[in-house]
Chain A
Amino acid sequence: MIGTLESRIPSGPLDKKWSSYKDHARLVSPANRRKLDVIVVGSGLAGGSAAATLGEQGYNVKCFCFQDSPRRAHSIAAQGGINAAKNYQNDGDSVFRLFYDTIKGGDFRSREANVYRLAEVSNSIIDQCVEQGVPFAREYGGLLANRSFGGAQVSRTFYARGQTGQQLLLGCYQALCRQIAAGTVKMFPHTEMLDVVLVDGHAKGIITRNLETGDIHAHASDAVVLATGGYGNVFYLSTNARGSNVTATYRAYRKGALFANPCYTQIHPTCIPVSGQHQSKLTLMSESLRNDGRVWVPNKQGDTRSPEQIPEEERDYYLERKYPSFGNLAPRDISSRSAKEACDDGRGVGPGGRGVFLDFADAINRLGETTIRERYGNLFDIYEKITGEDAYNRPMRIYPAVHYTMGGLWVDYNLMSNVPGLHVIGEANFSDHGANRLGASALMQGLADGYFVLPYTLPTYLAGQIGKRPTVDHPEFHKAETGVRERISKMIGVNGTRSVDSFHRELGLLLWDKCGMARNAAGLREALRKIPEIRGRFWREVRVPGSGEEFNQSLERAGRVADYLEFAELMCTDALERDESCGGHFREEHQTPDGEALRDDVNFASAFAWEFQGNGTIAPPKLHREPLEFETLELAQRSYK
């Protein structure tokens, strides 16, 4: 293995670790910063905030994204909000409580020190964003408003209508624009990273393809930061943007970076149900809806009456029934599984019986339609556009959908992978959410990593690297570039009969079935048999029209799907190896008598970090375990009853 699997958590009491780290961390002088080049791949909340901040600090930054503008990163689509421990509502919130909720929400499968730091810097994020002009919702007195969000008993979520991700990303994009204008950041839109280059075991550059011209280009740097988002689209259907993909992190994995907990995926409970084969993505209905909507299914199986004809006593408000203290706000994994259970039990509603009601009738009676319209108007509009139904007059139909991936490249406390110089931030790393992420915490993590953590931790690496940057004439760059070119020719050369998307869809269905909301050993073994078959057929039957020297979307997708076809195997291997249930990873063999996830802390209180094996071919990956030590919190059975 390259590097080490050392978490590098600073010593000392939990609440002093980060401040003492900052007090003693190595610095790079302003004169030397000018001599250091940093590559940031990704311009979402994590990459955008990191690139802007590092540029501001005086490093030479190159930032890459595959969209035509950095403002279009997938982060733009986040709706509900961002958490911070401000306690503006005077409802008992604190840094410790946010830390505790995040660890518990993650089902005790994340690192205490990282999560505590996240909670600690959360307040600075809000300050920073307000200063940038992010128009957060405000109260009549002019102060910031908050709402509560899935899985929290305090109101700590800041929001900008239903477009929080958009507004945070635009704040960050504008900060990035300021640096682009200042010349500290050079932006490469419509450019996809296809490989990372290691020189003497250190990440020292990347290979990219210009999506408009097809030009392949090598870029050398002193450090590489991946902020390339999650891999939820491995399931084909998900709430992620169409372009979101695993290529950057998977290519880094093939070069030796460890991939941690790939089986931890989050299935979001409130999405518009699948309506047919043509569908290209699933649409999230923000979880904030659960603050006012009540989730129910009919008591009776196969009840096809329209909802208003089902009397109150024949309805099962199952979340309120099963989790009286959290009710409709139960965490995502739990809410999703409960919906699946109700539908498996034959009580689902809508086409195919794969849906549950989210009903606003009570809230409309209590607060009036105007208030509901003010709170959720845009979501109700989206719902109507997609389904043609009016949710003010009849309950919405919702069903869980793949939404977020907690797994990602393994990183230490510095957010550096085991490959020296390769840093990973945002959804692309595995660090903070354990086996389940709480609502409104991904935006928080992305911005924490980019604005407030990486700018302090990256110098500890860079301080020792001054003058060591190779040039792109180094043989490793040639080798990587040749590899990229060969792979492109190979994909085009297959010249088969099937579209890339058809393989992606096939893989997605298999994973949703075998490695989705519930998993078991037999199903996972079956998936592990079938994935290589699909992959084999892909390389024999795929058709990628056109050439590599032009704007070619089939080629872009072919590369991503080829990586998914390998990555899927890693994900199932991890799910099989983790022979316990925790958070979003529900192994049917391991449940409590009332059907809740049953952890096995003796054998599995660790992060699984996988090492790629094999030389070009794919051999079973090698497992490294990082034990999770809980010094402050006691490992407890998670209960939301």
Chain B
Amino acid sequence: MNFKLRVWRQKTGAAKGKLADYPANDVSPDTSFLEMLDLVNDRLIEGGEEPIAFESDCREGICGTCCLTINGEAHGPDHPGAACQLYMRRFKEGETITVEPFRAKPFRFVKDLVVNRSALDRIVQAGGFVSARSGSAPEANSIPVPKQNADRAMEAAACIGCGACAAACPNASAMLFTSAKVSHLALLPQGDPERTNRVLNMVSVMDEEGFGNCTNTYECEAVCPAEISASFIAKLNREYAVATLRKKLGG
């Protein structure tokens, strides 16, 4: 198959960027989107040009490294799935495909299609954990957890931390990301003791990092490769309200 690529090229955060055109010809429909970019890059290198910078690692949709906006959609048209799970058979012969990085103010620009998403790490550092010292844990089966709670916790925990939610949101909100972690831990008895501070601190860092508010556009849920449900955002709001109240009452 043959395609026309329009790719965002920008050397550094300070430099000016622009869309540049590249042909992607003789691509087998079984090629993944990233393999297609590999091919284009190989040809660029052999032709003496600079390859397009883009990151990926597992290439099976779980590490959350790839962060491409394809034809205006975070991770491209094949939802649910990360860009690395997108195959060229999804596109039409001769199609023009626009590729840009995930854009959200808190994601620092690095190069071409690469951004730095450490803002998401800092939200987790604010409290997205259970303080369980190595070696201090009780016997694993001593606290039974109802299967439906464990399953629901798993649904939230499945977040791959790619940041597509923030990139797709008109407000660059990271509510889906944050709500997934808050909900995962709030649904389990082990997460309960730190529940109040966790949600307050994570939300406050989320704001400090410059992520915007949720205005219920649900773009986040639509592009999420891990199918995290927006109902977790409602849960986050509840957790936050209860925590605020508790803080007020308990000091």
B184 in complex: contacting residue of A135, A178, A501, CB < 8 Å:
A135
- A99–B46 Cα distance when bound, in Å, is 52
Q: Does A126 contact B (CB under 8 A)?
A: yes
The answer to whether A553 touches B81 (Cβ under 8 A) is no
The answer to whether A49 touches B63 (Cβ under 8 A) is no
- A276–B39 Cα distance when bound, in Å, is 13
CB A66 to nearest CB in B, in angstroms, measures: 9
The answer to whether A554 touches B118 (Cβ under 8 A) is no
B62 in complex: contacting residue of A130, A166, A554, CB < 8 Å:
A166
A142 in complex: contacting residue of B62, B114, B147, B184, CB < 8 Å:
B147
B41 in complex: contacting residue of A181, A190, A499, CB < 8 Å:
A499
The answer to whether B63 touches A126 (Cβ under 8 A) is no
B1-45 CB contacts (< 8 Å) to partner A:
11-12, 27-28, 30-32, 34-36, 38-39, 41-42, 45
The answer to whether A501 touches B150 (Cβ under 8 A) is no
* Interface-facing stretch out of B47-55, B215-223, B239-247: B47-55
The answer to whether B42 touches A281 (Cβ under 8 A) is no
Q: Does A497 contact B (CB under 8 A)?
A: yes
CB A26 to nearest CB in B, in angstroms, measures: 18
The answer to whether B58 touches A77 (Cβ under 8 A) is yes
CB B147 to nearest CB in A, in angstroms, measures: 5
The answer to whether A545 touches B50 (Cβ under 8 A) is yes
- A545–B112 Cα distance when bound, in Å, is 15
B82-123 CB contacts (< 8 Å) to partner A:
85, 87, 89, 110-111, 114, 116-118, 120-121
- A interface size (C-beta, 8 A): 81
The answer to whether A77 touches B87 (Cβ under 8 A) is no
The answer to whether B150 touches A181 (Cβ under 8 A) is no
- List the A side residues contacting B111 at CB < 8 Å: 550-551
CB A495 to nearest CB in B, in angstroms, measures: 10
Counting contact residues on chain B (CB < 8 A from A), the size range is: 35 or more
- A143–B140 Cα distance when bound, in Å, is 9
The answer to whether B132 touches A132 (Cβ under 8 A) is yes
Counting chain A CB atoms within 10 Å of each CB, the highest count among B53, B125, B188 belongs to B125
B126-177 CB contacts (< 8 Å) to partner A:
126, 128-141, 143-147, 150-151, 153-154, 157-158, 160-161
The answer to whether A241 touches B128 (Cβ under 8 A) is no
A56 in complex: contacting residue of B64, B133, B138, B157, CB < 8 Å:
B133
The answer to whether B89 touches A388 (Cβ under 8 A) is yes
- List the A side residues contacting B36 at CB < 8 Å: 278
The answer to whether B59 touches A553 (Cβ under 8 A) is no
The answer to whether A278 touches B144 (Cβ under 8 A) is no
A146-197 CB contacts (< 8 Å) to partner B:
160-161, 163, 166-167, 170, 173-175, 177-178, 180-181, 187, 189-190
The answer to whether B137 touches A131 (Cβ under 8 A) is yes
The answer to whether B158 touches A133 (Cβ under 8 A) is no
The answer to whether A131 touches B41 (Cβ under 8 A) is no
- A136–B131 Cα distance when bound, in Å, is 18
Counting chain A CB atoms within 10 Å of each CB, the highest count among B27, B28, B30, B191 belongs to B30
A241 in complex: contacting residue of B12, B57, B136, CB < 8 Å:
B57
Closest to A167 in B: B157
Q: Does A88 contact B (CB under 8 A)?
A: yes
- A388–B27 Cα distance when bound, in Å, is 16
The answer to whether B42 touches A56 (Cβ under 8 A) is no
B130 in complex: contacting residue of A160, A174, A283, CB < 8 Å:
A174
- A501–B46 Cα distance when bound, in Å, is 11
Binding site for B on A (CB under 8 A): 49, 52-53, 56, 67-72, 74, 76-77, 86, 88, 124, 126-133, 135-144, 160-161, 163, 166-167, 170, 173-175, 177-178, 180-181, 187, 189-190, 212, 241-243, 275-276, 278-281, 283, 382, 385-388, 451-452, 455, 497-499, 501-502, 543, 545-546, 550-551, 553-554
Given contacts A167-B157, A554-B51, 19 further A-B pairs with CB under 8 A are A70-B121, A72-B63, A76-B62, A127-B140, A128-B134, A130-B190, A131-B138, A131-B190, A132-B190, A133-B185, A138-B150, A160-B157, A190-B116, A243-B57, A275-B30, A278-B30, A281-B60, A551-B53, A553-B55
Q: List 12 interface pairs A-B (beta carbons < 8 Å), by A numbering.
A: A56-B133, A68-B65, A72-B65, A77-B62, A88-B141, A128-B132, A143-B144, A276-B30, A280-B59, A501-B42, A543-B45, A553-B53
Q: Which 4 A-B pairs have the closest CB atoms?
A: A142-B144, A131-B137, A174-B129, A127-B137
